Amino acid sequence: MNAAGDALKNGTDPGALIGRARSLGASQAEVYTLERVEAPVAFEANRLRRVSSTQTGAVAVRVVKDGRLGQATSTRPGDTEVVDMAVRAAELGPPADFDFAPVAPVRGDLQMFDPAVREWDVEAMVQAGRGLVEEVRGLADGLQVEVHLERTETVTRVVTSAGQDVSRRGTLAQLRYSLELVEPENMIHIFYFDRSRRLGLDLDLAVRRVTELFTHARRNVRAGTGSFRVLFAPPAVGDLVAPLVACLDGKAVVKGESPWRDKLGQRLFAEDFTVWDDPTVPWEPRTLPFDDEGVPTTRRPVIERGVLKGFLLDLRTARALGQAAQGNGFRRSPDSPPSPSPTNLVLEPGEKPAAELLSELSEGLYVVQLMGAWAGNPYAGQVSGNVLLGYLVRGGEIVGRVKDCMVSVNVFEAFGGALVARSRETEPSMGAERLPYLLVDKASVTTKA
């Protein structure tokens, strides 16, 4: 049941599509092709529920005709009509205020493809999944364990009329692991996520982590209302850095939505706060040599020692700001146009292990996951979320789980000074980031009396 190898041939001939665009009067053209195979195995309610496989092919074409930009996408292999659609769209399109990627060399040495992921067969995935269920199902009567293991292999190619022709092949192994216990009016839901471009998911760590979080969650305690010191685990830290990403986004900068438009080179945060956009980290999910516009990616700090050093730019926003594109133009899916987003966002870690930060917390909260924190206005830096999974800490010990509780932090203030410490270790958040634990002073906590 393993057909990844030869399933990744796209029926598209980019050269022919660019030729067709030219013959229809386009002055520039860009062809993006994607071929992907995914094989997920899902355990629900402690048992194998579904084995699937998905093959997706797509071609997206952008053209410039009479100074205007047009685009179209199709999933039909070998479709040439997609060029005609793009040319038609260009008649109404926005002014093409940028050029498609010129020829530029891209790195070939990044660690993003592991043949072992391709060879990870369904039987082995089922066995791994069964192991993850069996390891924890005895923790409580009625415990429901869900495991989702998936392998993905993707081939992406970008060809432009300016002569750029680059392709990349990447693998990804993913684990979503959850424990749910339903008691009358009290539900415990522990969620764990890990992913890697190589077949090296740490399943023992996964078991240890969910066991620990579940065990501490069995007892509910009440947090107070007021201003507290809070240790955030990486999944919650992902919500705290989301406003940074929103403010660094070239589109928000060009539009003036981002409050940072005129702040390049200025100190925004504390001296010890550094954030990298790093496409070179071995085996991370967004480790790749070029973006979806064919522009080489670059490892660089976006915030260095508290100073704003750069934005996340695609070709269009780079031109609008008069800067060089750095390879941050990515498509959320083949049918959405490239738009600025980070490669691997890396928050520089600190000195102490997370366990030590926790043990030094005399009175406060340990928040693993927030819920609904993405829903606010990111440009003001206010992050406000329901504590989906969080614990009360006293004298450096977890005393129990807190519920019906909101945490609110202004991350601009927190990263500006109220941030007490970052952990030495970094772990996956829910997205592409790998983040440290953060200890934040003076987070607003509201608990139902």
Partner 1 sequence: MESYLRELVRGRPADYVEVRLEETHVTNVSFRGPVLDQVGETTSFGGNVRALVNGGWGFVSFTRLEDLEAKVALAIRQAELVSRERPKPLRLAPVPVVRDIVRPEVGEDPRRVPLSAKKELLEGYNRQIMAWGPPIVTSSVSYFDRHRHIRFANSEGTYIDQELLDVAGVFWAAAARGGVTQIRHYTFGSSSTFGVARGLEAQVEEVCRKAAALLDAPVVQGGVYPVILDPQLAGVFVHEAFGHLSEADNVDENPNLQKVMTLGREFGGPHLHIYDSGSEPGLRGYLRYDDEGVPTRKTYLVREGKLVGRLHSRETAAKMGEEPTGNARAVDWRFPPICRMRTTGIEPGEASFEEMLEGIELGVYAVGSYGGQTAGEMFTFTAGEAYMVRNGKLAEMVRDVTLTGNVFETLRNIDLIGRDPASRDGPGGCGKGEQAPLAVSFRSPHIRIQNVVVGGVTR
Told to check if 6 binds partner 1 by CB under 8 A, we report: no
Told to check if 425 binds partner 1 by CB under 8 A, we report: no
Which positions from 243 to 262 touch partner 1 by CB under 8 A, shown as an x/- string? --------x--xxxxxx---
C-alpha 74/C-alpha 274 separation (Å) is: 41
Contact 329, 340 (CB under 8 A): yes
One of 13, 24, 80, 85 touching partner 1 (CB under 8 A): 85
Contact 83, 24 (CB under 8 A): yes
Chain CA centroid to CA 279, Å: 12
One of 145, 407, 414, 419 touching partner 1 (CB under 8 A): 407
Told to check if 55 binds partner 1 by CB under 8 A, we report: yes
Q: How far is the CB of 403 from partner 1 (least distance, A)?
A: 7
State both tokens at 54.
């998905």
Q: How far is the CB of 100 from partner 1 (least distance, A)?
A: 16
Q: How far is the CB of 378 from partner 1 (least distance, A)?
A: 9
Q: Which stretch binds partner 1 (CB under 8 A): 77-85, 109-117, 348-356, 390-398?
A: 77-85
Told to check if 418 binds partner 1 by CB under 8 A, we report: no
Q: Which residue, among 107, 150, 60, has the nearest Cα to 295 in the 3D structure?
A: 107
Beta strand 434-447 pairing with 405-410 = antiparallel
Told to check if 103 binds partner 1 by CB under 8 A, we report: no
Contact 146, 130 (CB under 8 A): no
- The phi and psi torsions of 390 (rounded to 5 degrees) equal -155, 160
Told to check if 126 binds partner 1 by CB under 8 A, we report: yes
For partner 1, the closer of residues 104 and 371 by Cβ is: 371
Told to check if 181 binds partner 1 by CB under 8 A, we report: yes
One of 15, 16, 23, 52 touching partner 1 (CB under 8 A): 52
One of 6, 108, 109, 185 touching partner 1 (CB under 8 A): 185
Q: How far is the CB of 41 from partner 1 (least distance, A)?
A: 9
Task: Calculate the alpha carbon distances from 27 to 22, 48, 163, 164, 179 in Å.
Answer: 6, 53, 13, 15, 55
One of 134, 372, 394, 399 touching partner 1 (CB under 8 A): 372
Told to check if 182 binds partner 1 by CB under 8 A, we report: yes
* Residues 297-356 within binding reach of partner 1 (CB under 8 A): 335, 337
Q: How far is the CB of 243 from partner 1 (least distance, A)?
A: 11
C-alpha 387/C-alpha 384 separation (Å) is: 9
E strand segments, 349-433: 363-371, 382-394, 397-402, 405-410, 419-428
One of 301, 349, 376, 400 touching partner 1 (CB under 8 A): 376
Degrees to nearest 5, angle at CA 100 with 95 and 106: 155
Q: Is 298 exposed, middle or buried (0-12, 13-18, 19+ CB in 10 A)?
A: middle
Q: Is 17 exposed, middle or buried (0-12, 13-18, 19+ CB in 10 A)?
A: buried
